[in-house]
Amino acid sequence: MIDGGEEEVFVDEAEASPDKARQVLQAAAVEAYGRPGAYVTRNHVIKRANILDPEEFRMIAEYLDKNGWIAEADADYDIFVVTPEGIDQAAN
């Protein structure tokens, strides 16, 4: 139960900062050259989005994954793809 509660807090924090989540999604879309399904790496996305804390990135990535904007991620979001919905969301 505690883990579930912590997970909800992380998602709430990411939702409380939609600007950062959008910034990460846009960085991932740029790294994917706007192509849905293209794999991108965390290191490139973090650098482009100017996110310094890997844990903050993980929380945001979980939020993006939960919303269907990224997919096929490994456990630490070292590599993932931006979905067609993610590309659309990043462009809006």
Instruction: Report, as an integer, the average pLDDT of 20-26.
Output: 96
Q: What pLDDT shows up at residue 16?
A: 46
pLDDT of 7 strictly over 50: no
Q: In what order do the strands lie in the sheet with 39-41?
A: 39-41, 79-82, 70-71
What does each C-alpha distance from 72 to 13, 17, 38, 67 come to in angstroms? Answer: 23, 24, 10, 13
Query: Domain residue spans in the chain?
Result: 2-91
* Least confident segment among 11-15, 26-30, 88-92: 11-15
Cα angle for residues 61, 65, 68 (degrees, 5° grid):
145
Which residues have CB under 8 Å from 47's CB, separation 6+?
none
The per-residue pLDDT for range 61-85, each reduced to its tens digit, is 999 999 999 999 999 999 999 999 9
- Alpha carbons 5 and 7: distance in angstroms, whole number: 5
32-48: pLDDT as tens digits: 999 999 999 999 999 99
CATH architecture of 2-91: Orthogonal Bundle (1.10)
